[in-house]
Chain A
């Protein structure tokens, strides 16, 4: 009997090896596909995540709330309630301060320009944070609203005060918000009093870096940072945070949104949603600009 089993194993072993090698080839192919046609692979990922995570909706929210309460209880013991209240009041106060600043600037602008057209107020969709990225390698959260609720790729998400990130990956019942701190996040910003534009570069650190800044001398820590609206990545004028000087002497932004514990997010409906559909192409001079065509146009005219 043992001998017959051994013979069966001898027979099965090459077949098994072929299957394992096939599996590894499939997985490596999947990785290559992920790298080569990333938007398609990420859409596939969004579908898979949408299949699994929202079905545990009933467990995620209560467990998170309970764990949060236990955590608060441990650190603040009896003054948990007071502390929560203070935090809420502080957040409200920040919002009021922000409103006052914005009104002041708006007033100044209106005084300066008589014919000023205000953009229609951005409307929003509220969503509960279901899950995070699951590791400190990626900075994103999963919301419980998706394509069914009208969410589209590229829309901005705020926590009511400051910008948190943009929608990147939409499933039917869930959508992923890529946070500004993620190492693949880049956003165009304006630094307020000087009006300089720059790019905010996420680095997986609490404070993203300000890069491509033309004149760093004009920037001081504490300056307001808002989205610039360039490249149609975000609507203009959304609060991002304040300029801060990092320990390494580089200019960073301390974000206005409370990133530590995100519970609810507002997804701003905006018409200009710059979606990423293709793997992208080289940044190169446009073919029309190249030499020989210009004289021909000149002779025509």
Chain B
């Protein structure tokens, strides 16, 4: 918990806000206004998940919720639904953060993939219960697959771009302090 200084923590939070703004800006650019084209991976959610699994203190739930909710508003998604699912997933991953420290990337990746699958399924289920418009299955499935494949990229960018790694060998550090 104490392994990251407060200023660094706030700098990373500011960076998250800027990155989310940039991602929404790029999504909103009217380069192709017609139908068709590929959906974008949900990078804002992915950054939230990667950071919470690296340093859970960097990604407070209110900041994550605020930025994803802004995405709900700007990208014409049903208001609040994706954010609610994202907050649930983020809190689940936060509770798994200590045990995921010595997980290899492949295991962590499959855990996040499972969480994302539940999120997409939950979205479809909620839209069905509320009798709202369902997006086309091929589109939503391709967004799901693209988001999963973008996860290692976000991990690599976080590790090499920001130098944010998992807290290694937590037991010895904690024991050292305690002793």
Interface residues of A (CB under 8 A from B): 2, 5, 19-20, 23-24, 26-35, 41, 44-45, 48-49, 52-53, 56, 59-60, 63-64, 67-68, 71, 129-142, 179, 181, 183-184, 204-206, 259-262
* A44 to chain B: closest residue by CB: B79
Question: Does A262 lie within 8 Å of B30, measured CB to CB?
Answer: yes
Question: Does B34 lie within 8 Å of A141, measured CB to CB?
Answer: no
Chain A CB within 10 Å — which of B36, B139, B178 has the most? B36
- Given contacts A24-B88, A136-B139, A181-B34, is CB(A48)–CB(B73) below 8 Å? yes
Chain A nearest CB, measured from B161 CB (Å)? 22
Chain A nearest CB, measured from B164 CB (Å)? 22
The answer, among B37, B69, B74, B79, for a CB contact under 8 Å with A136, is B37
Chain B nearest CB, measured from A58 CB (Å)? 12
Query: Using Cβ atoms and an 8 Å threshold, which residues of chain B touch A135?
Result: 27, 39-40, 75-77
Question: Does A20 lie within 8 Å of B35, measured CB to CB?
Answer: no
Query: Using Cβ atoms and an 8 Å threshold, which residues of chain B touch A20?
Result: 61, 87, 91
Question: Does A31 lie within 8 Å of B84, measured CB to CB?
Answer: yes
Question: Does B33 lie within 8 Å of A262, measured CB to CB?
Answer: yes
Q: Could you tell me the distance between the alpha carbons of A20 and B178 in the complex, rounded to whole angstroms?
A: 30
The answer, among A29, A35, A64, A259, for a CB contact under 8 Å with B31, is A64
Question: Does B33 lie within 8 Å of A260, measured CB to CB?
Answer: yes
B10 close to A (CB within 8 Å): no
Q: Could you tell me the distance between the alpha carbons of A144 and B120 in the complex, rounded to whole angstroms?
A: 33
* B174 to chain A: closest residue by CB: A2
Q: Could you tell me the distance between the alpha carbons of A33 and B81 in the complex, rounded to whole angstroms?
A: 11
Question: Does B27 lie within 8 Å of A49, measured CB to CB?
Answer: no
Chain A CB within 10 Å — which of B28, B61, B139, B177 has the most? B28
Query: Using Cβ atoms and an 8 Å threshold, which residues of chain B touch A23?
Result: 61-62, 65, 87
Q: Could you tell me the distance between the alpha carbons of A256 and B76 in the complex, rounded to whole angstroms?
A: 26
Number of A-B contacts (CB under 8 A): 147
Query: Using Cβ atoms and an 8 Å threshold, which residues of chain A touch B24?
Result: 134
* B33 to chain A: closest residue by CB: A262
Query: Using Cβ atoms and an 8 Å threshold, which residues of chain B touch A134?
Result: 24, 27-28, 74-76
The answer, among B34, B37, B130, B174, for a CB contact under 8 Å with A35, is B130
Chain A CB within 10 Å — which of B30, B77, B139 has the most? B30
Query: Using Cβ atoms and an 8 Å threshold, which residues of chain B touch A53?
Result: 28, 74
Query: Using Cβ atoms and an 8 Å threshold, which residues of chain B touch A29?
Result: 80
Question: Does A31 lie within 8 Å of B65, measured CB to CB?
Answer: no
Question: Does B133 lie within 8 Å of A183, measured CB to CB?
Answer: yes
Question: Does B35 lie within 8 Å of A205, measured CB to CB?
Answer: yes
B150 close to A (CB within 8 Å): no
The 8 A CB mask of B131-151 against A (1 = contact, 0 = none) is 011011001100000000000
Chain A CB within 10 Å — which of B1, B79, B81 has the most? B79
Question: Does B69 lie within 8 Å of A60, measured CB to CB?
Answer: no
The answer, among B32, B38, B78, for a CB contact under 8 Å with A261, is B32
Question: Does B31 lie within 8 Å of A67, measured CB to CB?
Answer: yes
Query: Using Cβ atoms and an 8 Å threshold, which residues of chain A touch B34?
Result: 181, 206, 259-261
Question: Does B28 lie within 8 Å of A131, measured CB to CB?
Answer: yes
Question: Does A141 lie within 8 Å of B40, measured CB to CB?
Answer: no
B83 close to A (CB within 8 Å): yes
* A262 to chain B: closest residue by CB: B33
Query: Using Cβ atoms and an 8 Å threshold, which residues of chain A touch B88?
Result: 24
Question: Does B33 lie within 8 Å of A129, measured CB to CB?
Answer: yes
